[in-house]
């Protein structure tokens, strides 16, 4: 018994850095924002209790709240499927036995190492601005490209593409899943005369659905919280066409110093993510397959 306690102590000691980080940097702010969401807190003055006023304001007065939510939803619907499709496509290519495959895998993973960094966002802005590389390239074939970022019709799609470009982590997971698909199933399908598309649709895709589901949940949650890309490239403009929810939250917290309201916004985002994730989990039973349950 005492030996077990001693072991426990050692274990707790090992995980102490994580526990301290979790309590100080996650749990305390998490609870604090819940408390602050019922206050008027301007940072410069002590918070005052206002009950549900912040939540009421969000749903009745602030027209940027539904607007940013709509922009974010569009962003999620554009970027997540594109990213997953692209990641899967690259994973399928990288699953082939070709010479130097290790190098290719590393190269394709690199954009994800850079992540949604500020430097990458600035580079993206330079590529897509009015006289940027993309428009110069188009000009060489006689096409006058639009102002990809300054024109409201294209700005959201343009920043969504940067999200797609960071497909590496999803791709690695897809690659691992593809490797788990038993070769004998492919052989049997080929003997039965199935074509490549049929094999993909009837064997590969069903068997990797657990990873598709995992990637879908993770990328959806990430996309709902996206901030850096849009903030650095467009600051949410022009005319709020790229005003993602996280920018609304940031503006209220650190630009207008309405910490109470920003806390309420963060809790509503949390609830939205819970509902979306719950929906994905519920829907997964109708399309996700596990090999052991199928066999």
Partner 1 sequence: MFNKSSTGRSTFAKIVAIAMLCFAVGGAFAQKQTTIRMAWWGGETRHKATVAAAEAFMKKYPNITVKTEYQGWEGYYDKLITQLAAGTGPDIFQFAIAWFGDFQKNPEMFADIKKVPGLDIGGWTQTSFDYSTLVGKTIGLPLGANGRILVYNKTLADKLGIKIDGYLTWETFAKTIKEARAKDPSVIGYSGTMDQYGYPLISWLVQKTGKPYISAGAEFGFTEKDFAEGLEMFKGWFADGTFQTLEKTVLLKASWSDPDWLNGKVLFSETPVTQITQHLKYKYEVGFTRYPVIAGAKLTGVEIGPNLMFCVNAKTKDMDAVVKLANFLNTDPEGAKLMALERGVPTNKQAYDVLVKNGMIDNVTKIAMKLIDDTDTGKFSYFDPVEVRDLLHTALQQVGLKGNVSADAAAKEFYTKASKVLKNFK
Q: SS3 letters for 40-95?
A: ECCCCCCCEECCCHHHHHHHHCCCHHHHHHHHHHHHHHHHHHHHHHHHHHHHHHHC
CA–CA gap between residue 106 and residue 100 (Å, rounded): 10
Q: Counting contacts by CB under 8 A, is residue 235 touching partner 1?
A: yes
Indicate which single residue of 34, 55, 104, 257 sits in contact with partner 1 (rule: CB under 8 A). Answer: 257
Tokens of 152: 């409201």
Q: Given the complex with partner 1, which of 148 and 224 has the nearer CB atom?
A: 148
What are the φ/ψ torsions at residue 133 (nearest 5 degrees)? -60, -40
Residue 63 Cβ, how far from partner 1 at the closest point, in Å?
9
Long-range contacts of 123-127 (CB under 8 A, 24+ apart): 124/158, 124/159, 124/162, 124/229, 124/233, 125/149, 125/232, 125/233
Residue 14 Cβ, how far from partner 1 at the closest point, in Å?
32
Question: Does residue 181 contact residue 203 with C-beta atoms inside 8 Å?
Answer: yes
Residue 263 Cβ, how far from partner 1 at the closest point, in Å?
15
Indicate which single residue of 2, 4, 17, 45 sits in contact with partner 1 (rule: CB under 8 A). Answer: 45
CA–CA gap between residue 275 and residue 269 (Å, rounded): 10
Q: Counting contacts by CB under 8 A, is residue 110 touching partner 1?
A: no
Residue 256 Cβ, how far from partner 1 at the closest point, in Å?
5
Contact window for partner 1 (CB under 8 A) among 84-92, 157-165, 177-185, 254-262: 254-262
Contact window for partner 1 (CB under 8 A) among 8-16, 41-49, 112-120, 179-187: 41-49
Long-range contacts of 80-83 (CB under 8 A, 24+ apart): 80/216, 80/219, 80/220, 80/223, 82/160, 82/161, 82/164, 83/163, 83/164, 83/166, 83/167, 83/170, 83/219
Indicate which single residue of 175, 233, 268, 269 sits in contact with partner 1 (rule: CB under 8 A). Answer: 233
Within residues 117-176, the interface with partner 1 by CB under 8 A covers 125, 129-131, 147, 149-152
Indicate which single residue of 229, 240, 246, 248 sits in contact with partner 1 (rule: CB under 8 A). Answer: 240
CA–CA gap between residue 57 and residue 63 (Å, rounded): 10
Residue 236 Cβ, how far from partner 1 at the closest point, in Å?
10
Q: Counting contacts by CB under 8 A, is residue 228 touching partner 1?
A: no
Residue 255 Cβ, how far from partner 1 at the closest point, in Å?
6
Contact residues for 209 (Cβ-Cβ < 8 A; gap 6+) = 287, 288, 289
Q: Given the complex with partner 1, which of 190 and 255 has the nearer CB atom?
A: 255
What are the φ/ψ torsions at residue 266 (nearest 5 degrees)? -65, -35
Within residues 167-226, the interface with partner 1 by CB under 8 A covers none
Q: Given the complex with partner 1, which of 64 and 207 has the nearer CB atom?
A: 64
Indicate which single residue of 16, 19, 28, 43 sits in contact with partner 1 (rule: CB under 8 A). Answer: 43
Residues that bind partner 1 (CB under 8 A): 43-45, 61, 125, 129-131, 147, 149-152, 233-235, 237-240, 251, 254-257
């Amino acid at each position: 018994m005492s030996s077990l306690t001693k072991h426990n102590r050692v274990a707790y000691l090992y995980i102490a850095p994580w526990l301290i980080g979790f309590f100080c940097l996650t749990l305390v702010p998490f609870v604090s924002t819940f408390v602050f969401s019922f206050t008027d807190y301007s940072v410069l003055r002590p918070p005052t209790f206002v009950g549900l006023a912040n939540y009421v304001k969000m749903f009745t007065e602030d027209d940027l709240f539904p607007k940013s939510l709509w922009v974010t939803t569009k962003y999620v619907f554009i970027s997540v499927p594109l990213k997953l499709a692209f990641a899967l496509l690259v994973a399928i290519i990288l699953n082939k036995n070709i010479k130097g495959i290790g190098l290719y895998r590393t190269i394709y993973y690199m954009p994800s190492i850079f992540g949604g960094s500020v430097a990458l966002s600035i580079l993206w802005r330079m590529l897509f601005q009015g006289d940027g590389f993309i428009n110069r390239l188009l000009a060489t074939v006689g096409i006058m490209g639009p102002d990809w970022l300054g024109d409201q019709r294209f700005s959201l799609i343009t920043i969504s593409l940067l999200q797609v470009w960071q497909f590496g982590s999803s791709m690695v997971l897809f690659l691992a899943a593809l490797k788990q698909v038993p070769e004998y199933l492919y052989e049997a399908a080929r003997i039965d005369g199935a074509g490549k598309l049929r094999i993909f649709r009837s064997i590969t895709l069903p068997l990797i659905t657990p990873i598709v589901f995992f990637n879908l949940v993770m990328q959806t949650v990430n996309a709902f919280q996206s901030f850096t890309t849009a903030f650095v490239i467009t600051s949410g403009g022009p005319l709020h066409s790229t005003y993602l929810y996280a920018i609304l939250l940031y503006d209220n917290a650190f630009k207008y110093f309405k910490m109470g309201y920003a806390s309420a916004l963060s809790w509503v985002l949390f609830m939205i993510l819970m509902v979306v994730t719950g929906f994905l989990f519920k829907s997964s039973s109708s399309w996700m397959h596990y090999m052991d349950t199928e066999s």
